[in-house]
Chains A and B, each alone.
Chain A
Amino acid sequence: DTEVTQTPKHLVMGMTNKKSLKCEQHMGHRAMYWYKQKAKKPPELMFVYSYEKLSINESVPSRFSPECPNSSLLNLHLHALQPEDSALYLCASSQERGLFTDTQYFGPGTRLTVL
């Protein structure tokens, strides 16, 4: 099983809402990533978890709050977002014998629209 799943596929939220994105993998990978991708742009790294601990935070605003409850699950909690946060949010995982040394497997993404 080389699948990374993400839910929901689409999300529309207001600027005062609180919502969460979910990512799951059952490949035994120990590193999980969140990326943000705007239209016609490459993905931008947001967070990296390694062995369930936050390893990298790419200066992401605090209205995005990641959480890794266990080695298979990664959440991204959203609160007080801005319209410019509308994007495709991608989750990825890798075996991670060292950061970014292994193939990354991506989920299908969550298309987020902030009104």
Chain B
Amino acid sequence: KQEVTQIPAALSVPEGENLVLNCSFTDSAIYNLQWFRQDPGKGLTSLLLIQSSQREQTSGRLNASLDKSSGRSTLYIAASQPGDSATYLCAVSGGYQKVTFGIGTKLQVIP
């Protein structure tokens, strides 16, 4: 059974700081990994999708890496802003369970 863990569960940083969010998964037989952000009570916004054959993806201040063999992904956010405050979830696709989400990291960026 695929299990997805995100550490830390919550993170508070001052504005302007660079930060890293972590996602680990137990079964390396995946199709892809996707990072989302979710604002309270809202839907999910896709940030980055990394296919299993890729090592990283970048979009603006965001960079996501994938190390399939070790079952890890990181989301790097550069020069954090208060508007980045949200819960960040990673989701792994592939295998019998189709898609498995982590419980998320709640990020607060303090002005």
Contacts and interface: CB of A to CB of B under 8 A. Distances in A.
B93 to A, nearest CB: 4
B94 A107 contact: no
For chain B, the bracket of interface size reads 20 to 34
Contacts of A74: none
Interface stretch (A13-21, A77-85, A95-103): A95-103
Contacts of B103: 40-42
B2 interface: no
A115 interface: no
Given A42-B89, A45-B99, A48-B98, A100 B44 contact: no
A42 B46 contact: no
A101 B93 contact: yes
Nearest to A48: B98
B32 A104 contact: no
Interface in A56-112: 56, 58, 88, 90, 92, 98-109, 111
A24 B36 CA distance: 20
Given A43-B44, A111-B41, A103 B34 contact: yes
Interface of A: 4, 6, 40-45, 48, 56, 58, 88, 90, 92, 98-109, 111
